């Protein structure tokens, strides 16, 4: 069985800001076939919107070309699944789209740095019933025994 992972926007942004950090290394492991990366158009659109924020671009000292290159790499590696936007499970309605993406994409894991997602016990229980585990970057690296040094 192939491991399928939905990567939350905050992990993608961390990888963009620090190309040598653990989020970037995790994504590289997905790009090289250690697991498949599942996403949806709303998540891709959200990522692009966040990366283009002046604060993010200033931190990275990024240009529009840097964002375009990063987004091209994202789109090339993710498997897009259709979502309706009708799911309502999370305390933060903005997080529902990542959960719907995971459910529709039959993900094994949702990797996130958002404590609203990683510490919501009701949400964790609902997703576990569907065979999906919410997990942090480091835990996923450990769980999949990825060599990301």
Q: Which residue has the higher pLDDT, 22 or 120?
A: 22
pLDDT surpasses 70 at 149: no
Contact 8, 111 (CB under 8 A): yes
Give phi and psi for 40, each to the nearest 5.
-145, 160
pLDDT in tens, 20-67: 999 999 998 888 888 999 999 999 999 999 999 999 999 999 999 999
Q: What is the DSSP string of 33-86?
A: TSSEEEE-HHHHHHHHHHHTSHHHHHHHT--HHHHHHHHHHHHHHEEE----S-
pLDDT surpasses 60 at 1: no
H or E segment and range at residue 30:
helix 22-31
- Res 126: pLDDT: 80
Domains of the chain: 4-143 (3.40.50.1010)
Sequence-separated (6 or more) residues with CB below 8 Å from residue 94: none
* Range of weakest confidence among 66-70, 108-112, 143-147: 143-147
């Amino acid at each position: 069985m192939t491991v399928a992972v939905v990567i939350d926007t905050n992990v993608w942004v961390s990888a963009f800001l620090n190309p040598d950090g653990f989020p970037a290394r995790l994504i590289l492991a997905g790009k090289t076939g250690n697991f498949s990366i599942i996403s949806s158009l709303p998540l891709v659109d959200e990522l692009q919107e966040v990366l283009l924020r002046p604060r993010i671009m200033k931190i990275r000292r990024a240009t529009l070309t840097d964002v375009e290159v990063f987004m091209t790499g994202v789109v090339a590696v993710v498997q897009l699944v259709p979502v309706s936007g009708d799911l309502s499970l999370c305390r933060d309605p903005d997080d529902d789209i990542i959960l719907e993406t995971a459910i529709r994409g039959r993900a094994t894991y949702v990797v996130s740095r958002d404590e609203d997602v990683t510490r919501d016990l009701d949400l964790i229980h609902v997703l576990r019933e569907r065979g999906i585990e919410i997990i942090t970057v480091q835990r996923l690296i450990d769980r999949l025994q990825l060599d990301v040094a």
